[in-house]
A = this chain, B = another copy of it.
Amino acid sequence: MATNPSWILRSYPSGMPRAENWILEDRPIPSAAGGALLVKTLWLSVDPYMRGRISPAKNYAAGFQVGDMMRGGGIGEVVTSESAEFMPGDLVMSDYFGWQPYSVIDATSAKLVTTTDAPMQSALSYLGMPGLTAYFALLKTGHPKPGETVLISAASGAVGQIAGQIARIKGFDPVAVAGSDEKLAWCKELGYRTGVNHRASTNLVADVAGACPKGVDVFIDNTAGPIHDAAMLNLNTFGRVVVVGTMALADRLEQPDIGLRHLRRTLITRARISGFLLDDHDSEYATALGDLLLWYKQGLLQTREDVAEGIEAVPHAFIRMLKGENFGKQLVKL
């Protein structure tokens, strides 16, 4: 039996990532040096942003080199601690868990998972990065007004499911774009007024228009691609577009993105298109997490996870999430 099987980036993807882009190598269980923690991985998170980290294309953060071990969000139990701030047995989360069962992480990247009011893996979902992204992208960057139509792509995904429910809680009019009728049905349970199945649609512009008869005031764009176009062509005057993710480019991140451009439309509507990165809001995380936990405890937030099992499953879970084959927040349980 392997000691510490670890996923190593073997090659940058050309197009959609494939399992062959990684190799599972056995590694020794590392030991924690000064300021670091050895953690036993309990949960790993795979997220769309990681597509940008395995590309030589310019990004907002440095990516992995070929030969590097993959790292991403995770939750684990501290085994040994070389930091005064954590003790063995502590449950911690970090964005720098290795894709491996035992991982050394820097204590400065770690946070205690403290809530007992929600399952621990919530810290990787609605009480963590995706939930915070939904919160700030919608309320701070999109800032809709009550009654305004908020169109959300990847609406049942980790970010979309929370954004749609916050929109409902706050009295906006959320409309979903998702990739199956089953996902849309669940979106309506969450409180989305209606939605569009972009895989079944033969005319996305018309279908978004039908779902948004008063036009689109705020668009939470998790995908880019044709859904972005359909939203732009239905955007109201002074519309706000929040560019949260570019999942539709997962199979062509290294190519210049060619297609419809909307500068004229931007001028005509006096739209504001804003790139969004969660890190820019870190001073307000505590407030946002307080709201999210409160809503969860009040029964106002339903959430859905898609859980793969075992370290072997990580690349596959990542790839199916990029393809939209997951249903809910994609996690891997070790």
0/1 string, A244-274, CB within 8 A of B gives 1: 1110010001001111111111111111111
Instruction: Please give the count of copies of this chain that the complex contains.
Output: 2
Residues from 262 to 308 in A contacting B, C-beta threshold 8 Å? 262-277, 280
Contact of A58 among B224, B253, B258, B268 (CB under 8 A): B268
A269 contacts B258, C-beta separation under 8 Å: no
Q: In the bound complex, how far is the Cα of B264 from the Cα of A244, in angstroms?
A: 9
Of A58, A260, A271, A275, chain B has the most CB atoms within 10 Å of the CB of A275
Contacts of A244 in B (CB 8 A): 267
Q: When the two chains form their complex, are residues A267 and B280 in contact, meaning their CB atoms are under 8 A apart?
A: no
Q: DSSP class of A's interface residues: helix, strand, loop or mixed?
A: mixed
1/0 per position for A34-65, CB-CB distance to B under 8 A?
00000000000000000010000111100000
For residue A57, which residues in chain B have a CB less than 8 angstroms away from its CB?
A: 264
B257→A258 contact, CB < 8 A: no
Interface residue from B258, B270, B272, B275 paired with A260 (Cβ < 8 Å): B258
* CB-based contact A246/B270 at 8 Å: no
Quick one: closest B residue to A223, CB to CB? B263
Chosen A-B contacts, 5 in total, with CB atoms closer than 8 Å, are A59-B268, A60-B268, A259-B261, A260-B261, A271-B275
